[in-house]
Every structure is written in structure tokens, then in C-alpha cells.
Chain A
């Protein structure tokens, strides 16, 4: 037919026509999406691990059920995203395999430890806050299944951020020790959160093409700036500070200036040398391996049920 050219694909994108799984697409578009969506899914799944540490240690039943609900949401988000990636022709097991083999990346933020209860609040407010900043524009991304998954994710994510902030608000009005704990968590999570937006624009290898294909709609630096502007105001409500002496309002540019990010640390964590990289992957592998018999038993049981349903009754005439 000769209609399936890359030019026509780009025209569709430019006209804001969504791409659906079985539409023609350039190989690189497919690969980029598989990489990005599966990394995103892995991040949701690995993201449950630092929080799981605090389910049995939550300070009250109320906080415990909130945390359980949040973690259940993360599992769901992982599932929506894995499903979206599967429409591109990669299998779920292959994605798991890539994660467990250490070949797939996930958000570097989840390689940091959760040392105190305040970390759970900080994760909700800052980590989920940064995630939302990234995810809201993805609701309009050019690939249909990814966009639909993100709409669902974003609806649920706002509860995560609000519960985190509220949890820190309680600590910020508590005892001196609780206030210290709150500030300490903010201090430890702030810089890794800024790194969540990825390398600066001039070093981000995938941004340009992704913008042209409308997979991404804002650059890493644009989103990071929006995040800083939002959090710099919110932290005042907590009566806490952000650990950046260079952070100050710039009247001219109408945004906050902030200090230099330690990109060497970012690269170390991405390359597997963060505080918890090994622990996270080991936990995932253990869960996968120890769950193997359940997966096999369920398949065998389903096969047996099907077979029995097909067999004629023994005593039938």
C-alpha cells in the first residue's frame, strides 16, 4: 500500500491522533516505549519494597491501613503499566526476567533506605509528588494504552501524596524528636527526588526524539523546576526547610533557583551502587523464585479443571 511511512506516522502524531498497539510504528518508537513503560512498571513494583518495611511498624492502625492501601495501589500501577507494555509485543515474563537479571532499570529513588517512620511520609509527599509531576503529562502521551494506564495511575496517585504530606504535618506539630525526624527525612530524600527527573536536558540522550514523538511533553529540567517551585512553597506549611543553601526565589525569572545536583551520585546509583540496589533485586528474585510453585500449581489446576469439564461423566449412559 505504501502508506505506512515514517512521515505519515509523524503526521498522525502531529495531529494528536493516538497510536494504538496494532498500528504501524517505527521500530525505534516501539523500542523506546517498551523501555520506558517497562522501567516505569518496574519502578512501581520495586517501589513497594521500601514501604513494605514499615507495614508492621506503622505507628497506628489508621496509618497501617493507609500504607497497605497505598502499596496495593503501587502493585496495581505496575500491572496497568506491564499490560500497556505487553500490547507492544513483549511478554510479562520477559520483562520480569530483564528486571531480575539486572538488565532493566527502575527509578533510582527506590535504592535508598527507609530508616524512620518519617521516611514513609517523605516518600508520599516528595517521591510521589515528583512522580505525579512526571506522570500527569504522560496522560497525554502519544501511545494509547500508555496514556490510558497513566490516567488511571494519576487518579490514584494524588491520595498518595496527600497522605504523605498529612503524615509529615502531624510529625511537624509533634514533639521535638518527631520534628527532628521529619526534618531528617526531608533532608535525606530531597536530593534523590530531584534526581528522579533524570539527567539535565543537555545530557538526556532520549529526550529530543521522545518529544518529537510526543511520548514526552516536557523536558527533565522543565519538570524538575516545576517540582522545586511547588515543594519550596509547601515545605513552609510544614515549618521545615529544604537542605539547599542556594535555594531562593528569583524575582526576575519568577521561579526558584536551586543548587547543583550531585550527578556523580546519580550515576553511581543508576549503575547499581546505591545503598539498596542489591537488596531490592534480591528481594524481587526471592519472591519470584519462591512463588514458582504457586504459578505452576495454578496452571496445573486450571488445566485439570478444563480437562474434567471436557470428559464425559463416568456414569452417563
Chain B
């Protein structure tokens, strides 16, 4: 069941993104910024976790989940260490994603040549 929901919810989020690009004539950078913000917003109301329970990867793969993960980690650490925890914990859940992206992008650029 979660597989079906992952496909549907993930597809839906991407489809809404495409509609936003076409109807409002925005650039990809506007879209990703908006979606990251929305993910953070939903998480601040504790709603994004519910979406993840229902849709699994359909909620964790889109870039909205990045905003959710930053907010979630910040709040988690803040509940342990107070306000300063917001800043000290913010990257804990996204560390793997960012680190992987930097390392793999670097080696990709080193090994390959752009084809145009």
C-alpha cells in the first residue's frame, strides 16, 4: 500500500510543482525555494511527519522533505538544549544528503566531461 501512496503523493507533489512553473512562469530556483519553505512550514505544525507516515518515500524524496528535515532537527535539539539547539541541531538529519551530494558531485565533475 505504501508503494502506491509513495508513487501517488510523490507524483502529485511534482505535478503541482510543474503546474506552478507553467502557470506562474517561475524559474526552477523559485520552485525549489518555495517547496523547501513549505516543507519547513508544514513541519513546524507537525504535519509533515503525518504525511511521511502515509506516503513514505513519496514525502521524503521531494525537496519539501529537506525543509522538513531542517526544521525537525532544529526543534528536536531545541527541546533538549534550549534555543541554541535550534542552530546546533539544524543539519543533523540532512547531513547525509548534503555530504553525499558534495562528495559525489565533486567526483562526477572530476571524472566526467560535459557533453552539451
A and B found bound together? no
Q: A residues bordering B, Cβ < 8 Å?
A: none
Q: Which residues of B are in contact with A by a Cβ distance under 8 Å?
A: none
